[in-house]
């Protein structure tokens, strides 16, 4: 099974903690293996680590990575890179080709303005829609299409709690 990881660019610690945490939580819940954070924010690492500890799985967060080096080394190891942007090819035109490739996949999710170099360094610039929206929604749609909905059924090993589906109310099971 290939590895799928996220590279979070443009995170501003004073402003983007909640959104970046949600990028990581969405990635984890929808089948990614980990997230590289191109900023120094140990609070994000701790927050997502706490979720992994309680809810299970093997998701990692690597803090303070140099984004150009991360992309370059990913590709040198034989991986491919997809950048989620409003300005790329439509997800429906691209996701099947990405899915069919066996290489590890790095998905770039930006925050503030993404450096222009990114567009030329990647294998795919992918637009989930060409309308303004959230990077969290782009990631969720892309991962769901990449895994064809199967990520929803995944099991999270070593979980200490889980939600039991029920028609009314909430049921959380301590394991």
pLDDT tens-digit map of 85-137: 989 999 999 999 999 999 999 999 998 789 999 999 999 999 998 888 899 99
Domain count, the chain: 1
The dihedral region occupied by 158, where left means phi > 0, alpha psi between -120 and 50, and beta the remainder, is left
Question: Which structural domain range is residue 146 located in?
Answer: 4-174
The model's pTM is 0.95
- Per DSSP, the three-state class of 77 is coil
Which CATH number fits the domain that encloses residue 156?
3.40.1280.10
pLDDT tens-digit map of 135-161: 999 999 999 999 999 999 999 999 999
The span from the CA of 163 to the CA of 151, in Å, is 16
């Amino acid at each position: 099974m290939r590895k799928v990881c996220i590279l979070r660019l443009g995170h501003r610690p004073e402003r983007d903690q909640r959104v970046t945490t949600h990028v990581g939580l969405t990635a984890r819940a929808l089948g990614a293996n980990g997230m590289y954070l191109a900023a120094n924010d140990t609070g994000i690492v701790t927050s997502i680590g706490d979720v992994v500890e309680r809810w299970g799985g093997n998701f990692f967060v690597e803090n303070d990575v140099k984004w150009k080096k991360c992309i370059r080394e990913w590709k040198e190891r034989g991986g491919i890179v997809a950048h989620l942007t409003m300005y790329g090819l439509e997800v429906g035109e691209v996701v099947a080709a990405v899915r069919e490739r066996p290489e590890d996949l790095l998905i770039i999710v930006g925050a503030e303005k993404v450096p222009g170099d990114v567009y030329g360094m990647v294998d795919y610039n992918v637009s989930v829609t060409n309308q303004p929206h959230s990077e969290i929604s782009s990631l969720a749609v892309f991962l769901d299409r990449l895994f064809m909905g199967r990520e929803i059924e995944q099991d999270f090993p070593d979980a200490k709690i889980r939600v039991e589906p029920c028609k009314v109310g909430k049921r959380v099971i301590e394991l």
